[in-house]
Chain A
């Protein structure tokens, strides 16, 4: 397949963009990566490809746009079926993977974002507590789903590894802002070890952003969020 047949519209700081990229790497699929600047206005291609949400990532397969990171990962898993499987084959295990991925996106990520965007010390503390609570739940889930193997997906990186792993560098940034470790030996030992394994995986390490660069971006993003809140509606 020609390189230009598979494109990813993305933005380097976005954890959601990492997901399709990791999935494509796992499947050894070549693709063209097109960078969108999240802090400036959106490109025509993005607006045309994702008119509903106008967000990255978008996968362009030929002329077909696919949106929403986890939906894209499932699409990649189905289309390039000869590569290693991303979702488990058993329907109950698939449901569990989807459940925890949805939890990460709907409950845990907003708390993580809440630390970055907190306007007061109290709000920051509350958000940090939620992040920690979530990580304890995910530690438990890891125990049950990995069944003693290195990843949520078992021997290989799977759907839930990608869903959570894509946030690892942002988690480092949030640890810096909170001035505390959120993944710890004491409470989340398995996740801590998993995080090292995931981050150094050949399909992952070249796409993860640098923590310092992301932290700098985090400062700009926080300023943008707080400014937007201050504008009277």
Chain B
């Protein structure tokens, strides 16, 4: 497949974009990543491709736009079935979709409540993040990955947000490893995967980005 067939409207720091890129890499697909300048003004292509939300990621497959990261990852899995990102049985798939939905709705926003606060991060915000991670530890149990032995859908949706953890830990003054060691171990396992290591940005860069972003928003 030529590169022109797959284009992702991208932003290096967006965990939602990272999930799509990891999924594409897991399938061995080549694509062109076009970085959107989220501060300088969104491209016409982005605004035309995603008029409802005007957000990245957008995947363009043969110029047809797909929006919303989890929906895009599902599309990638269905269009290029090998290797599969979802379990073969319907119940396993329902469980995977449930946890992906849970993470999508809860984890990133909970993390944002920490770095978005002025001054010291509220205890409630920290507790919420830790509670969510503990629920994920419950789902993980003794498995290597959420998918079992193999790195799959839920792992792909979850691991990108962890690139923001170093920053969240600094702003929130806590360590994920101390509070949720199982989750921390899972993070390390994921980072050993080439597809993940290549896509996730340096956590220190994410931290610098958030410092700058906070200044821009007048949060100090």
A residues near B (Cβ < 8 Å) are 52, 61, 64, 66-68, 71-72, 74-75, 78-79, 91-92, 94-95, 98-99, 102-103, 107, 137
Query: Known: A66-B94, A72-B94. Is A91-B78 also a contact (CB below 8 A)?
Result: yes
Q: Establish whether residues B98 and A79, one from each chain, have CB atoms under 8 Å apart when the complex forms.
A: no
Chain A interface mostly helix, strand, loop or mixed? helix
CA distance A99 to B90 in the complex (A): 21
Which residue of A71, A75, A95, A103 is within 8 Å of B72 (Cβ)? Answer: A95
CB distance from A23 to the nearest CB of B (A): 13
Q: Establish whether residues B75 and A75, one from each chain, have CB atoms under 8 Å apart when the complex forms.
A: no
Q: Establish whether residues A52 and B64, one from each chain, have CB atoms under 8 Å apart when the complex forms.
A: no
CB distance from A24 to the nearest CB of B (A): 14
Query: Known: A71-B97, A92-B75, A137-B52. Is A102-B90 also a contact (CB below 8 A)?
Result: no
CB distance from A2 to the nearest CB of B (A): 18
Chain B interface mostly helix, strand, loop or mixed? helix
Q: Establish whether residues B52 and A75, one from each chain, have CB atoms under 8 Å apart when the complex forms.
A: no
CB distance from B14 to the nearest CB of A (A): 18
Q: Establish whether residues B94 and A95, one from each chain, have CB atoms under 8 Å apart when the complex forms.
A: no
Q: Establish whether residues A71 and B52, one from each chain, have CB atoms under 8 Å apart when the complex forms.
A: no
A-B contact pairs, 12 of them (CB 8 A): A52-B98, A52-B102, A71-B97, A72-B94, A74-B94, A78-B93, A91-B75, A92-B64, A92-B66, A95-B72, A98-B68, A99-B71
Other A-B contacts than A68-B97, A92-B75, 7 sampled, CB-CB below 8 A, are A52-B135, A61-B91, A71-B94, A71-B101, A75-B91, A91-B75, A99-B66
Residue in B68, B74, B94, B101 whose Cβ sees the most chain A Cβ within 10 Å: B94
CA distance A221 to B120 in the complex (A): 37
Interfacial residues of chain B within 49-98, with CB under 8 A of chain A in the complex = 52, 61, 64, 66-68, 71-72, 74-75, 78-79, 90-91, 93-94, 97-98
Which residue of A61, A78, A99 is within 8 Å of B67 (Cβ)? Answer: A99
Query: Known: A78-B90, A92-B64. Is A71-B98 also a contact (CB below 8 A)?
Result: yes
CA distance A67 to B99 in the complex (A): 10
CA distance A91 to B90 in the complex (A): 18
CA distance A78 to B94 in the complex (A): 10
Q: Which residues from B are CB-within-8-Å of A95?
A: 66, 71-72, 74-75
Closest to A79 in B: B90
CA distance A71 to B67 in the complex (A): 19
Query: Known: A66-B91, A78-B93, A98-B71. Is A91-B79 also a contact (CB below 8 A)?
Result: yes
Q: Establish whether residues A102 and B68, one from each chain, have CB atoms under 8 Å apart when the complex forms.
A: yes
Closest to B77 in A: A91
CA distance A74 to B98 in the complex (A): 11
Q: Which residues from B are CB-within-8-Å of A64?
A: 91
Q: Establish whether residues A94 and B78, one from each chain, have CB atoms under 8 Å apart when the complex forms.
A: yes
Query: Known: A91-B79, A92-B75. Is A74-B97 also a contact (CB below 8 A)?
Result: yes
Closest to A75 in B: B94
CA distance A94 to B64 in the complex (A): 13
CA distance A102 to B74 in the complex (A): 14
